[in-house]
Structure 1
């Protein structure tokens, strides 16, 4: 069994996935806040 050496693994795919997830999450959060503000302002 080989020994683990910290920092050797290629994590570029994981970094790209996490970056995409964070962009998507941020956009959903901003959209949700805008919808709530819109509903609060134009509530009938």
Structure 2
């Protein structure tokens, strides 16, 4: 078997996936908060 060298793996794809996921989650949270505020203003 080949020896594993710590820090030698290319993780560029994983970093891009994580960045995309975090962007999606952040935008979703903002949209939910805006929706809740609008519901509080217009429904109550």
Give the TM-score, by structure 2 length: 0.92
2:3 aligned partner: 3
Q: Distance in 1 between matches of 2:21 and 2:43?
A: 32
Match of 1:22 in 2: 22
Consecutive unaligned residues in structure 1, runs of 5 or more: none
Q: Which has the higher helix share?
A: 2
Q: How many pairs are equivalent?
A: 44
Aligned structure 1 segments of 4 or more residues deviating by more than 3 angstroms: none
CA RMSD of aligned residues (A): 0.9
